[in-house]
Chains A and B, each alone.
Chain A
Amino acid sequence: MPTKMTPLAVTAHTATSALGSGLAAQLAALESARSGLRPNDISSAPLACWIGRVDGVEAVRLPASLQVWDCRNNRLAWLGLNQDGFMPKVEAARARYGAARVALLLGTSTASIGATEEAYRQLDADGGFSDDRLYPPLHAPHSLTAFVAAALQLEGPCLTVSTACSSSAKVFASAERLIRLGLADAAVVGGVDSLCDSVLFGFNALELVSHEPCRPFDAARNGISIGEAAGFALLERAAAAPDAIQLLGYGEASDAHHMSTPHPQGLGAELALDDALARAGLSAGQVDYINLHGTASQKNDEVEAALVSRAFPARTRASSTKGYTGHTLGAAGIVEATVAMQAIEHGLIPGNLGGDTPDPGCGAQFAWRNERQTVDVALSNSFGFGGNNACLAFARAGFGA
Chain B
Amino acid sequence: MSGLDVWVDGVGLWSSQLADFAALREVLAGRPPQPPPRRPAAATLPANERRRAPESVLLAVEVAGQAVAMSGQDAAGVACVFASSHGDQAITDYMCATLAQVPTELSPIRFHNSVHNAAVGYWTIATGCHAPSTAIAAQRASFGAGLLEAASQVCSEQRPVLLVCSDYLGNGPLLEVTACTQPFGCALLLMPTRSPRSLARLRLTLTTTAASSTLDEPLASWRQANPSATALPLLARLAQGDGSCHIAAAAQLGLQIDMESVA
Contacts and interface: CB of A to CB of B under 8 A. Distances in A.
Contacts of A121: 99-100
B35 to A, nearest CB: 28
B141 to A, nearest CB: 8
Contacts of B135: 161-163, 386
B103 A160 contact: no
Interface stretch (B85-93, B213-221, B229-237): B85-93
A120 B1 contact: no
B87 to A, nearest CB: 6
A159 B124 CA distance: 22
A136 B175 CA distance: 10
A123 to B, nearest CB: 6
B139 A100 contact: no
A128 B112 contact: no
Contacts of A386: 115, 117-118, 120-122, 124, 133, 135
Interface residues of B, number: 68
Contacts of B132: 173, 252-254
Interface string A239-264: 00000000000001111111110000
A117 B112 contact: no
B72 to A, nearest CB: 21
B121 A100 contact: no
B172 to A, nearest CB: 9
Contact of A162 (B117, B133, B177, B206): B117
Contacts of A83: none
A62 interface: no
Nearest to B116: A162
Contact residues on A (Cβ < 8 Å of other chain), bracket: 35 or more
B74 interface: no
A128 B106 contact: no
A384 B117 contact: yes
Contacts of A259: 112-113, 118, 121-122, 125
B55 to A, nearest CB: 16
Contacts of A253: 130-132
Interface in B214-263: 249-253
A260 B114 CA distance: 11
Given A128-B173, A158-B250, A116 B96 contact: yes
Contacts of A142: 85, 137-139, 142
Interface stretch (A21-29, A197-205, A284-292, A343-351): A197-205
B153 interface: yes
Given A157-B249, A159-B149, A259-B125, A120 B156 contact: no
A106 to B, nearest CB: 10
Given A181-B152, A181-B155, A259-B121, A43 B103 contact: yes
B4 interface: yes
A113 B103 contact: no
A254 B129 contact: yes
Contact of A388 (B2, B133, B177): B133
Interface in A123-153: 123, 127-129, 134-137, 139-142, 145-146, 149
Given A129-B173, A201-B103, A205-B107, A174 B149 contact: yes
B156 A180 contact: yes
Nearest to A113: B92
B104 interface: yes
Contacts of B2: 181-183
B26 to A, nearest CB: 33
A219 interface: no
Interface in B134-160: 134-139, 142, 145-146, 148-149, 152-153, 155-157
Interface in A344-391: 384-388
B116 to A, nearest CB: 3
Contact of A155 (B122, B129, B142, B252): B252
A391 B146 CA distance: 22
A194 B134 CA distance: 21
B211 interface: no
A163 B113 contact: no
Contact of B130 (A128, A146, A182, A268): A268
Given A141-B87, A206-B108, A252 B157 contact: no
Interface in B155-176: 155-157, 173-174, 176
Max chain B C-beta neighbours (<10 A), residue from A44, A117, A129, A162: A162
Contacts of A129: 173, 176-177
B117 A385 contact: yes
Contacts of B157: 2, 177
Contacts of A202: 95, 106, 108, 111-112, 114
A156 interface: yes
B176 A140 contact: no
A300 B27 CA distance: 50
Contact of B129 (A140, A173, A256): A256
Contacts of B139: 137, 140, 142, 146
9 contacts: A43-B103, A113-B92, A116-B92, A134-B177, A158-B249, A174-B134, A198-B111, A259-B112, A271-B130
Given A149-B251, A178-B152, 15 more contacts: A47-B103, A100-B253, A117-B95, A157-B249, A157-B253, A159-B250, A162-B115, A162-B117, A163-B120, A181-B156, A183-B152, A203-B111, A385-B112, A386-B117, A387-B125
